[in-house]
Structure 1
Amino acid sequence: MGGSLYPESLIRVHAAFLHGHTMGNTHSINPCSQVSSMCAREAREAVLSFFNASPEYTVVFTANATGALKLVGESFPFNEHSRYVLCADSHNSVHGIRRFAARRGAQVHYIDTTPHGGLDEINAKNVLVLQKPESRTLSPSLFALTAQSNISSSKNPLSLVEYASSLGYYTLLDAAALAPTSIVSLEDLPVDAMAVSFYKMFGYPTGVGALIVKKSFLEKLERPWFAGGTVDVVQVPGTIVTMSQDLHEQFEDGTINYLTLPAITDGLRFLSAYLPFLPLRLSCLMHHLTTSLSQLRHENTGSPVVRILSRLPGQVLKSFSEEADTGSIVSLIFLSPSGAMIPNSFIEYAASVRRISLRTGCVCNPGGAAAILGLQDDMQQLYPGVTLKDFEDAVGRELGVVRISLGLATTFQDVWTVLQFAAAMGKEQSRQVMWDEWLESKKPPATPSSSLDL
C-alpha cells in the first residue's frame, strides 16, 4: 500500500522510551527540551550514517517526502533563464515543482518515459545536454530524478545525477520508493538533495520525512517565508529578519515532530539489520509472484487472467551482494475471459472482502500510468478543468492499475494468498460470486416504510 508494516519491537521500544522520559519543544533549553534536542541530534546523525553521507550534508526533518520536495521547489532560485528537467514517470510531488518553476519564468522540460516506464538513459542525456544551463549563477537549473517508479517498478540509472551535475544542474533525487528496499550511499551519489519518507522504510512513525541535503545547496535556496523555529530575530513592526544560525532549522517550520524522533533512530537501526538481505529475499518472492501470475489462465477460454504492465525483473538474485534491477511492486490489470479489462473497483472490493489490501488507480503517478496503460495520446487531449470522470468517459473504462507491493514484512504466505485470489478470478463460478457481491454492495440501502399509528 506504499507504506511498510511497522515491527512490534519498534513500537515496544518507542513506548518504553516515552514512558520513561518527558520531552518538550526543541526551541528551548529546559530539561525536557534538552531531551528532545538530544533525540533530534541523534536522529539526524542516524539518518546521515544510514545513507553514508559525508559532513557536507545535513538533515531537514519534514512531514514526508512530499514536504521535502516542496521545500526545494518553493525555495529554488528559478528565473526566466532556468530549466526544470524531470522524467514523465514521476510522482505528483515531483511534477508539482513545475508550478514553482513556471511562476518564476523558468522552462519545464520532460524526459519521455518508455512503454514500460522509467527512462531511456541516452534520451535522458540528450535532453539534459539540449537544455544545459548557461551557468549556475545566471540560469540556476534543477534536474529531478525519480530513483524508482512507484507504478512501473523501474529503477533509473543514478549515474544521471553525476552527469547532470557535470553539466551545471543542481540535482534532486526522489528516493521515497527506493530507500525502503535498496541500499543508498550518498558517498557514491553526489546528489544535492534527496527526499525520503520514514514510514515507507519501516512503517512507524508516519508524519516524518527528511530532506538529506548538502549545506552548500541549502545556502542557495531562498525561502518564501519564515516561521517559528526558523528565525533568530524578527523586527516587529518592520522588515528585518535574521534567520536561525543552524541551516537545517531555517527550513524546519514550527515545531518538529520531536516525540517520534527516537523511533527514527531505532527504526533505521532495525532496517539496517535487514536491508543487506532484503533484495535477495524480495527477488525470490517477486520471481514466484510474477511467473505464477503470468501463467494464470481462464478455465473456459485459456486466455490470460492478468496483464502485467510494470517492468519485470531481469534476473533472480543469487547472492546478498546483488541489487535488483527493478523495484518490488507489480502493476497489472485483470482481464475477463474475452480479454476486456475488469474494473479495478471490482477487484479492490473483492480483495478487501477477503482481507487482502491492494491499491488501485494511478497511484499519484499520471505519467507512468499513461505510459504503461498506453494512454499517452489521450493524456495530450486533456483540457483545463477536466475531471477524472471526464477522462474515464473519454477512454471508455476505469483508469489505473492494480498494484501489489512487496516489502520488508512480506512473507511467502502473503504472496500465496494474492495468487489464490488471482486464480479465483479465472474460474467462472468464483468470479461470478464475487461479481454478485460487488453489485449488491453498490445498491442504495432500502428506505424503510413509514407508518403512523392512530
Structure 2
Amino acid sequence: MTPNSLSESTTTQLQDDVFFEQLRASEFSRLDKEGYFYFDYTGGNLYPQSLLDKHFALLQNHVFGNPHSTNPTSLHATRLVNEARQKVLDFFNAEDYFCIFTANASGALNIVGECYPFSQDSCYLFTVDNHNSVNGIREFCTSKGGTCEIVTANYEDLTIHEPSLTDWLKKLSSKKEKLFAYPAQSNVSGVKHSLDYIRIAQDLGWDVLLDAAAYVPTSQLDLKKHTPDFVSVSFYKIFGYPTGIGCLLVRKDKFEKLHKPWFAGGTVSAVSINYPGYFLVNNHERFENGTVNYLGIPAITNGLQFIEQIGLDRINRRVQSITDYLLHTLENLIHDNGEPLIHILGSKDLDKKGGTIIFSVSGNNDKRYPVEFIEKGAAEHSLSVRVGCFCNPGIDEINYCVTPNEMARFFNSRNQGNYQDIVSFLGKHRGQVRISVGMATVQKDLDHLILFLRSYLNKPVPEEAFEWALQATH
C-alpha cells in the first residue's frame, strides 16, 4: 500500500480556513517540508516558528544568571521568570492563585499527592477517566491509611456517571480531609467533563484537583468563574515549546493546606544543620525545589502571547469544525457488506468534546485490526497517530469491559507484568487508535488520514496482522 494507491478524497470548508492555512504556511511549514501528517496534538502540541525565533534571539542577545541571587544577570533572569509567572496568572484569570513552576503536569500533581494532608480519616475520590499521574495519588492516600474510591463513567459516551459522583461526594462528606480529582478534558476520548463538578464538590466540603492539561490548549479556563483548589497545567501541550515546564496553580486560601514533608534549595527562608529546624518560604518558592528552568520559562510569556493573538475562542471553533468533519467522515466509511470500518468511542456531542477521537478499525470479516498494526501502516504513510491506552487504564478497562476481579486475579498471580501480559492473561484486545487535531491541522492532513483509512475498506483482517502485533509488543 503506497500513497499513490490511495483513492480520491472529499473536501469541505473548515472554520476560518484561510487564516489557519496561512498560519500553517508561516508558522508550521516544517510539517510540509518534512512530509509529515501530524495527529498527536494531545500527546504534544507543535511549536510555532516565531516562538523559537523570539526565544533564541533572547538567549543570543542577553546574559542570564541563576535567579537565586541579586547580581545584574540574576536579576535579569528573575524579572523574566516573574513576568512569565504573572502572564500565566493573567491567562487563567487567576489572581487568587499561586503559580508554582514544575517540570511537567505530573510534577504538579505529585506536589498535591505528596503534600495533601491524607490520614486515616481522609478520602481520595477520583474518576475512572484520569491520567496515571492523577491515579497515582491514591498511593499517597493509602500509605497514610486513607480511603480511595472511584467514580465510574458511562459506557455509551465515556462521560462521568453523575449519579455515582453525587453518591460518593455525599457518602464520604463526613471524612475530615477530602480530595476529589478529575480531568477537565479526557486525554483519551476528548470528552469535556463539566466544570460544574468543582462547585458541587466544594459545596459538600471537598477540595478539588482539576487536571487541565488536555483542556487548556483549545479551551479557556477562567479561574474566577470556576475555582478548583488545585490545577495542573503543561505548557508544551498548549504551544509546543519548551518541554519540561508545567505548573501547579494553588488557590491562595488552600496554600497552607499543602504540608511539604521536606525542604530543598530555594524553598527555605531559614535552616540549620546544627539544629534540625527550618522555615519554608511563604509563597510559590516553597514548592519550586532547586533552581527553576530560568532559561526556558521566558518562552512561556511569548507562547501565551502567541495563543492570545490568535484567540482561544478562534482555535476552539476551528478544532470543533475539524472534529465535526472527522466524526462524520469516519462514520461514513462503510464496508460493502454494510458493516462500519471505524468504531468511534466516546461522546460525539461537540459541546462536550475537544479535538481528540479514539476508534478501532475493523475488517469486513468481523475482526478488529490490532492497534499496533494500524500504527505501523500509518507510520508508513508519514502519519503520526497514537495507539494504546494513553496512560489512562480506566477508560480502556471500560471500553473492553474488564472487571475489577479480572485485574485482581492478574496482579495477584505475579510480581511483575506488562501490557502484553495483561492481554494474554485476559484474552481480550486492549487499546485504541487516537487522533487529535490542533491549530496547525489543515484539510490536506485530513484528506491524507481518510485516504489511508479508506485503504482498509472491503478487506478482511489478515492473520499475519495479529502475528505481527504479537511480535511488536514483545
What is the CA RMSD across the aligned residues, in angstroms? 2.2
Select which of 198, 203, 206 maps to 2:243: 206
What is the rounded CA distance, in whole Å, between the counterparts of 2:94 and 2:334 in structure 1?
49
Counterpart in 2 of 1:251? 287
Q: How does 1:256-295 map to 2 (within 5 A)?
A: 256-274=292-310, 275-295=312-332
Counterpart in 2 of 1:382? 410
| Cα pair 2:119 2:145 within 8 Å, conserved | yes
Deviation at 1:375, TM superposition (A): 2.6
Counterpart in 1 of 2:206? 169
What is the rounded CA distance, in whole Å, between the counterparts of 2:115 and 2:401 in structure 1?
35
What is the rounded CA distance, in whole Å, between the counterparts of 2:58 and 2:104 in structure 1?
23
What is the rounded CA distance, in whole Å, between the counterparts of 1:125 and 1:78 in structure 2?
22
Amino acid at match of 1:74: E
Counterpart in 1 of 2:159? 118
Q: How does 1:96-135 map to 2 (within 5 A)?
A: 96-115=136-155, 116-134=157-175
Q: How does 1:419-434 map to 2 (within 5 A)?
A: 419-428=450-459
What is the rounded CA distance, in whole Å, between the counterparts of 1:17 and 1:113 in structure 2?
47
Shift of the 252–36 alpha-carbon distance from structure 1 to 2, 3 Å rule, reads same
Deviation at 1:427, TM superposition (A): 4.9
Q: Give the TM-score taking structure 2 as reference length.
A: 0.85
What is the rounded CA distance, in whole Å, between the counterparts of 1:224 and 1:204 in structure 2?
32
Structure with more relative contact order (C-alpha pairs < 8 Å, separation 6 or more): 2
Amino acid at match of 1:389: Q
- Give the match's secondary structure for 1:85: strand
Shift of the 206–401 alpha-carbon distance from structure 1 to 2, 3 Å rule, reads same
Shift of the 148–380 alpha-carbon distance from structure 1 to 2, 3 Å rule, reads farther
Deviation at 1:97, TM superposition (A): 0.4
Q: Deviations over 1:425-452 (max 9, x none)?
A: 11549x88xx79x959979xxxxxxxxx
- Give the match's secondary structure for 1:4: coil
Shift of the 441–22 alpha-carbon distance from structure 1 to 2, 3 Å rule, reads farther
Deviation at 1:395, TM superposition (A): 3.3
What is the rounded CA distance, in whole Å, between the counterparts of 1:50 and 1:286 in structure 2?
25
What is the rounded CA distance, in whole Å, between the counterparts of 2:344 and 2:290 in structure 1?
44
Deviation at 1:397, TM superposition (A): 4.7
Deviation at 1:379, TM superposition (A): 3.9
- The answer on 1:310 being equivalent to 2:346 is yes
Select which of 263, 270, 294 maps to 1:226: 263
| Cα pair 1:343 1:397 within 8 Å, conserved | no
Identity across aligned pairs (percent)? 38
Amino acid at match of 2:291: T
Q: Give the TM-score taking structure 1 as reference length.
A: 0.89
Deviation at 1:244, TM superposition (A): 2.2
Select which of 159, 184, 190 maps to 1:147: 184
Q: Deviations over 1:201-248 (max 9, x none)?
A: 111110000011112212111112111111122211331112124x10
What is the rounded CA distance, in whole Å, between the counterparts of 1:154 and 1:372 in structure 2?
14
Mind listing any 5+ residue stretches in structure 2 that lack a counterpart? Answer: 1-39
| Cα pair 1:151 1:365 within 8 Å, conserved | yes
Select which of 439, 443, 450 maps to 1:408: 439
What is the rounded CA distance, in whole Å, between the counterparts of 1:140 and 1:408 in structure 2?
41
Counterpart in 2 of 1:44? 85
Counterpart in 2 of 1:417? 448
| Cα pair 1:229 1:249 within 8 Å, conserved | yes
Equivalenced residue count is 424
Select which of 367, 375, 383 maps to 1:356: 383
